[in-house]
Structure 1
Amino acid sequence: MPDPSTQTPPRQQTIEVLIQNFPNGVIVLFDDDLCYRVVGPDVLPFSKREATELLGQSIHDLFPECTATSLEPELRATIRGESRSFDVKYDDRVHHIETHPAEIDGDAYGVLATQNVTQERETAAALERQNERLDQFTSMISHDMQTPLSIATGHLELYQETGDPAHLTKVEETLTRLDDLTQDLLTLAQSNDVPSLSETGALNAVARDAWEMIDTRDATLDVSDLLIRADFGQLQALFENLFRNAIGHGGDEVTIRIGPIKGGFYVEDTGTGIPEDKREDVFEHGFSTGYGGNGVGLTIVGRIAKRHGWAIELTEERSGGARFEFTGVEIAD
């Protein structure tokens, strides 16, 4: 029969088993100098170092200063009796750390358990990005389809009243635009890559097609000739959103001008403009400068420009309206 005096107490055995088999992580006992006093398992799963190499060393000895600096306030709070739960990025991994205070023979210690959660955090971030793209796609579809649907409905009603087949032709054109728009916005929601398909065409023709798709009220469009290479379905969506934004802010009689600049083109209006302190934010999803807009139109503009590799600068038109300058545009000969 084994000598009881030589046996490890059951509680200590349990602790040893936990330390040696802690899943995908490390358990540490640290003191008020933030030095490691107990470390396990014997071979650390992340670095493959021997646990004994870490004993007696402080976090400032073990980690780069930026990592130690982020750890120190959390561990000191633990020594003071507060539990902590946080993530730290170290050695190209994300580690989730849980700490709890402990008292041994009247002295304050902390217990630290850390696990590699890199894959879990990457999966969560990817899911969040996917959900954000879905939310943006839903908003974009709702936003950009309202006017074409109204136009198609209006011409259908006129056909029912008059029997004039010209109205059915307009319905067909508008529904075709809706189909193209859906594909364009779906592509935008799925990717920020540069378009694989681009064509050479006249900027003024695309702008006037966009003009036909919105409620222009008594606004005026003045557009210069310029040949560029672009995805013209998406470019039309860009113009439609800029036009709606200009009319919404500038009123029914606003004038919108489009013309060439070095390396691209500008779109400006004679409206009230966008305050300088808001110009950095207007392309963010959901940001609205008023007039009843839902903060989606300029997000679409920004994403279309980004997908083409164009830069946008938002400045002021000479009379105080908004001026959008697009550069990095491929100008056709």
Structure 2
Amino acid sequence: MDNFPNGVLVLFDADLYYRIVGPETLPFSGRTAADMAGKQLYDLFPEETATELEPKLEATIDGEPRSFDIEFKGMTHHVETKPVHIDSEPYGVLVTQDVTNVRQTAEVLEQQNERLDQFASMVSHDLRNPLSIAYGELELYRETTEDTHLDEVKNALGRIEDLIVDLTALAQANTLSEEYEPVSLTAVAEDAWELINTRSASLETEEDVIVGDRSQLQALFENLFRNAVGHGGEDVTVRVGPVDEGFYVEDTGDGIPPEKRDHVFEHGFTTGYGGSGVGLTIVKRIAADHDLEVSISESSEGGARFEFQTAQ
């Protein structure tokens, strides 16, 4: 017991009394074994913790080992139990170790791997539109030799460069930028509108100021607009305006069925029109990096309405 690494050993009986506890001083709580030995589970821990432990320890007494994590005082403990018999009486042996750092590291790695797995398709998805514009304008320049087409090529290539920077940042840790600044809602929405194929759709905006990274917010609007036009048809109207602690984007299309609203942000989920299923994943990622929560409802015409509000 004295040499058990970063953990505690316990022998408990059928009434869930701790009979033997070690080492002498518990490594992660500072409690002494003498203060714990001879006490019942509900005397040792708060009711919430004891209630979670009780069925697992009782199952151990009944002969079934258990392996689980439990949260206690801001730490994550991994617990292993085994049934034993002493003089034909059932007991349980409990081993617990502090695994807080291990679990946190695993969670961070899982999040990073998820971001990296999505990165290739995200880059491909958002780069496709400005790349298409660049090719189109270059072809028009070859036909007309008008320099204005080269200006559009330059703008599209600049947008590609910005997207590479932004999407690379999105593939990394989920942190808020210290360089966020006030951005005109109307201006960023109109810039995004100009960079997608809106066909005969129309955009209506209400002016407001939001705080964030302008280029990332533009990518958010581009994906929402592309989704609205793709699903709503050539004559759809898209509206952008302020709400309390945020903004909304809505359209006059067919909307998103309630049963699909919990899934539309999942990577690869698509409801048709030839979309790749990553546009709304990017939207949610950008929103999260701006500490914004996203909710989906209906517009007054039955179309989709996305609301972005500061997370509480």
TM-score by length of 1: 0.79
155-164 or 243-252, larger mean C-alpha shift: 155-164
- Tell whether 2:158 aligns with 1:176: yes
Choose the corresponding residue for 2:258, options 276, 281, 284: 276
CA distance in 2, matches of 1:261, 1:75: 51
Q: Which residue of 2 aligns with 1:41?
A: 23
Secondary structure of 2:80's aligned partner: strand
Structure 2 counterpart of 1:196, one-letter code: E
- Tell whether 2:181 aligns with 1:198: yes
Task: Indicate how the Cα distance of structure 1 residues 259 and 79 shifts in structure 2: closer, same or farther if over 3 A, else same.
Answer: closer
| Aligned length, in residue pairs | 308
Q: Check conservation: 2:269, 2:278, Cα contact below 8 A.
A: yes
Q: Which residue of 1 aligns with 2:200?
A: 219
- Tell whether 2:130 aligns with 1:148: yes
Q: Check conservation: 2:237, 2:251, Cα contact below 8 A.
A: yes
Secondary structure of 2:2's aligned partner: helix
Choose the corresponding residue for 2:168, options 167, 172, 186: 186
Q: Which residue of 2 aligns with 1:114?
A: 96
Choose the corresponding residue for 2:231, options 239, 245, 249: 249
Deviation, 1:116, is 1.4
Deviation, 1:80, is 1.6
- Tell whether 2:71 aligns with 1:89: yes
Q: Check conservation: 1:222, 1:255, Cα contact below 8 A.
A: yes
Q: C-alpha deviations, 1:276-325, integer Å up to 9, x for none? A: 34445544555544444344323333444455565655332232212334
Deviation, 1:167, is 3.2
Deviation, 1:272, is 0.5
CA distance in 2, matches of 1:31, 1:180: 64
CA distance in 1, matches of 2:243, 2:70: 47
Q: Which residue of 1 aligns with 2:283?
A: 301
Secondary structure of 1:82's aligned partner: coil
Task: Indicate how the Cα distance of structure 1 residues 240 and 109 shifts in structure 2: closer, same or farther if over 3 A, else same.
Answer: same
CA RMSD of aligned residues (A): 2.9
Q: Check conservation: 1:59, 1:68, Cα contact below 8 A.
A: yes
Task: Indicate how the Cα distance of structure 1 residues 262 and 84 shifts in structure 2: closer, same or farther if over 3 A, else same.
Answer: closer
Decide which structure has the larger Cα Rg and report it. Answer: 1
Structure 1 counterpart of 2:209, one-letter code: I
CA distance in 1, matches of 2:12, 2:293: 52
Deviation, 1:96, is 1.0
Q: Check conservation: 1:224, 1:260, Cα contact below 8 A.
A: no
Q: Percent identity?
A: 57
